[in-house]
Amino acid sequence: MPKSYSCPVELTVDVVGGRWRTVLLAHLKEGVHRYGELRRLTPGISEKMLSQRLRELEADGLISRKDLGTVPPHVEYDLTDEGRSLTPVLQALYDWGVARAERTGVSIDVP
């Protein structure tokens, strides 16, 4: 049965919600990244979660996966047009995070 939503926000949360999806999208918003780069940019994520989330985002049409087929392996992830349509959302989340960090005195240590 098809899922239905009672509010547009609910739909959005269903797509970009969860612990890691948004963070990964935010990193890809900065440009193409390899698997290992995303892992390094996202401390705390396990390889299992990284793989799972990337495949979900790919299935939802938000990111593209390009396997260069080389040895050693080289895989690049990028936002699709659909993913890029999230830019205002990602920017709003980013901006609020910065302001909230200042207000609450929390520090953000970029890798």
Partner DNA sequence: CTGAATCCCAATCGATACTG
Partner DNA sequence: CAGTATCGATTGGGATTCAG
Q: Pick the piece of the chain touching a copy of itself (CB under 8 A) from 15-23, 31-39, 48-56, 66-74.
A: 15-23
The option from DNA, a copy of itself, none interacting with 70 (CB < 5 to 8 A, set by class) reads none
The option from DNA, a copy of itself, none interacting with 46 (CB < 5 to 8 A, set by class) reads DNA
What are the distances in angstroms from CA 86 to CA 6, 24, 36, 61, 62? 21, 12, 23, 12, 9
Q: Is residue 1 near a copy of itself by the rule CB under 8 A?
A: no
The amino acid occupying position 41 is L
Strands 75-79 vs 33-34: parallel, antiparallel or unpaired: antiparallel
- Sites of contact with DNA (CB under 7 A): 18-20, 34-37, 39, 44-49, 51-52, 54-55, 65, 67, 72-75
Q: 11: closest CA among 106, 86, 92?
A: 86
In whole angstroms, how close is the CB of 13 to a copy of itself at the nearest point?
5
- Written as six digits, the tokens of 92 are 């709003």
